[in-house]
Structure 1
Amino acid sequence: MKVLICEAPGNLVYSEKEIPVLQKDYSLVKIKRIGICGTDLHAFEGTQPYFNYPRILGHELSAEVIEANGATGFENGEMVTCIPYFNCGICIACKSDKPNCCVKMNVAGVHIDGGMTEYLNLPSYSLVHGEGLSYDELALMEPLAIGAHAVRRANILPGEYVLVIGAGPIGLGVMEFARIAGAKVIAMDINDNRLSFCKDNLQVKHTVNPLKADPLEAITALTNGDMPTVVIDATGNLKAITDGFRYLAHGARYVLVGIQKGDISFNHPEFHKREATLMSSRNATREDFMHVMAAMKSGQVKPSTYISHRVIFTEVKAEFENWLDPDYGVIKAMVEIK
């Protein structure tokens, strides 16, 4: 079978490997779709935390079950996706019903090899039934679940102003589920094309480009001076994260979904007087995946609007670097394996 390996930053190599041997409590699947996300792009750039090389990238997956080994209720030939954060089941986080931040977390395509391959062994407990969704839709469940989880962490109430910093694929998912929760969403990004996408496709009425208007003044005006009661960063950019503290209302919650390698600093008196809450949001849970699936089925989320670029597996190496270029206009690149 063919695999695509990120040997080092900036270096992708196709290779041939044997189809994996079925292991106990693992199911063998044939990969059908692989969504490209910021984690993959950052790994290619060499800026992804928790990462070492060489690595087979890819964790936004849909697949056909070849052999459902120990996967109760699953059948050979079934269309599935997976929850690609493989947890130990026994640590403090797992026992606290937080498998998404397991102490011994192995994320496909990050800590261990992922889905840029024709066949893959997946832990049987990680499989998710397709329930009539397409391979494209199933591959988009994971990035949308990241957004849904961040919104659940923020405990958004109807009518709240929610500022989402970053209109990449994860930020777009955050906006979708903040809107579904009843929020008045403000999208911030330095890419006008992405901000137009938010308005045209996600029902986001308010957008701010901090390169073209003073963001503090713009957000103050949009919120009638109150400022957002929820700010969610989906950039992983240190300056954007630091600037986000400036936009918090008194009593606000700040959720960091994006991640970068450095330290974060902020003014303690300003943060303290607001009695603000700072939290991170890591990965997603099965509950979030089911929420995404329900939103897709009800038409609240239309996954097809996200896919802007589509390539076959053998074209990925040639195209990958282009996806880093903002002028290339990528919302979501989807890889197909026949």
Structure 2
Amino acid sequence: MNRHMLTISCNKPFDLSLAERPVPVRRDGDVLVRIRRIGMCGTDFHIFSGNQPYLSYPRVMGHELSGEVLDADPGSPIRIGSTVTINPYLRCKTCHACRRDKPNCCMNIRVMGVHIDGGMAEYVTVPEEAIVDVEGLSFDQAAMVEFLAIGMHAVRRGAVTSADRVLVVGAGAIGVGVALFAKMTGADVVVIDTNGGRLKRARSVCAGIKTTLADAEADAWLKEVTNGDFFDVVFDASGNAGAMQKGFAYVAHGGRYVLVSVVSKDITFSDPEFHKREMQLIGSRNATKHDFQMVIDMIRDGAIPTDKLHTHSLNAVDLPSQVPELLKTPDDLLKAIVTI
């Protein structure tokens, strides 16, 4: 094996470049993976655009990953040559959250591609516990597991049932994933977004959902379709502080508001409105091993239309020129998958 590898680094906002780096050396307890596909996430586009919190440059992006195992410890249950995805939320194992079996909330978490360099490279080494076997999935499908697991985790956090009316704010990849899994519970699901193209894409992926543009008539329409009650569960996947604040008004009395988005600023809400609804405000952070496995099983069973989620295919060497072009047509973009 060549001892150097291709990486794609975001050196500063709007500056992607190709570079060669040494292939990482596997340590005891780690697994060496040959990366085959990388899903482009909203986080990656935020990093490129310079508006991602908790990040310093330069950074090798990439946390939606699939590949094949090249090397592991002798006696490891990880099979050489197996197709895998990677849980990119690397925990410390010692903090309060880790001790309480909430690794996605680790106080010292290191997310690949955000806090540390990620998988936009030919090879990575990761702790053995980060390896997730995806036997039966294609490399493309395996690269979609992580973002779908975030949607799965959010729906579980919201405790959605078939009796609920659900509103999803934001029709990007995460929002579509939330809508997909909420609809699978039998809930009545509405998706709202400022972009009509995204809403059309959401309807093609999630059969039976309703959608509406976030325009001047949206509030009246949302009130009308719920007979003035609004929604039992509201999910924000917009990544916009203004939308997050407005979402409080869409929660029904006795309802739940799940914030999937994260923004690097404060948000405020009316305490009297919050209390008279006895609203539950819930954060949803990352995903767990259980969420990953649920998504993998659903893809294997054909319950998730991965072919409709996958909208763009890119080659890693073309990313410096293609990423700016993708951002010019966001209504066409749901999930871009990079081959390296």
TM band (smaller chain): over 0.9
CA offset at residue 220 of structure 1?
Answer: 1.1
Query: What stretches of structure 1 of length at least 5 have no aligned partner?
Result: none
Give the number of the structure whose residues are more often strand, by fraction. 2
Contact persistence 1:25–1:70 (CA under 8 A): no
CA offset at residue 116 of structure 1?
Answer: 0.6
CA offset at residue 236 of structure 1?
Answer: 1.1
CA offset at residue 119 of structure 1?
Answer: 0.6
Distance in 1 (CA, whole Å) between partners of 2:10 and 2:89 is 20
SS at match of 1:250: strand
Distance in 2 (CA, whole Å) between partners of 1:200 and 1:107 is 31
Distance in 1 (CA, whole Å) between partners of 2:55 and 2:321 is 23
- Aligned residue runs from structure 1 range 162-241, under 5 A: 162-211=166-215, 213-241=216-244
Match of 1:11 among 11, 15, 34: 15
SS at match of 2:137: coil
Distance in 1 (CA, whole Å) between partners of 2:165 and 2:260 is 18
Deviations 1:26-53 (A, max 9, x none): 1111000000001101111111111111
TM-score by length of 2: 0.96
Deviations 1:41-88 (A, max 9, x none): 111111111111111000000011010236832111111001100001
Q: Matched residue pairs, number? A: 336
CA offset at residue 201 of structure 1?
Answer: 2.3
Contact persistence 2:204–2:308 (CA under 8 A): no
SS at match of 1:112: coil
Corresponding residue for 2:26?
22
Distance in 1 (CA, whole Å) between partners of 2:212 and 2:234 is 14
Contact persistence 2:35–2:119 (CA under 8 A): yes
Distance in 1 (CA, whole Å) between partners of 2:26 and 2:55 is 26
Residue identity (%):
44
Distance in 2 (CA, whole Å) between partners of 1:335 and 1:71 is 32
Match of 1:110 among 84, 99, 114: 114
Corresponding residue for 2:155?
151
Corresponding residue for 2:258?
255
Deviations 1:208-256 (A, max 9, x none): 1012x52221111111221101000001101111110110100111011
CA offset at residue 328 of structure 1?
Answer: 5.9
Distance in 2 (CA, whole Å) between partners of 1:70 and 1:147 is 36
Contact persistence 2:30–2:126 (CA under 8 A): yes
Match of 2:146 among 142, 154, 169: 142
Q: 1:163 to 1:328 in 2, by over 3 A?
A: closer
TM-score by length of 1: 0.97
Query: What stretches of structure 2 of length at least 5 have no aligned partner?
Result: none
Corresponding residue for 2:126?
122
Matched, 1:51 2:55: yes
Distance in 1 (CA, whole Å) between partners of 2:28 and 2:16 is 31
Distance in 1 (CA, whole Å) between partners of 2:65 and 2:75 is 17
- Which 10-residue stretch deviates more, 78-87 or 328-337? 328-337
Corresponding residue for 2:41?
37
Corresponding residue for 1:294?
297
Contact persistence 1:71–1:125 (CA under 8 A): no
Matched, 1:322 2:318: no
CA offset at residue 325 of structure 1?
Answer: 2.5
Contact persistence 1:187–1:204 (CA under 8 A): no
Contact persistence 1:82–1:128 (CA under 8 A): yes
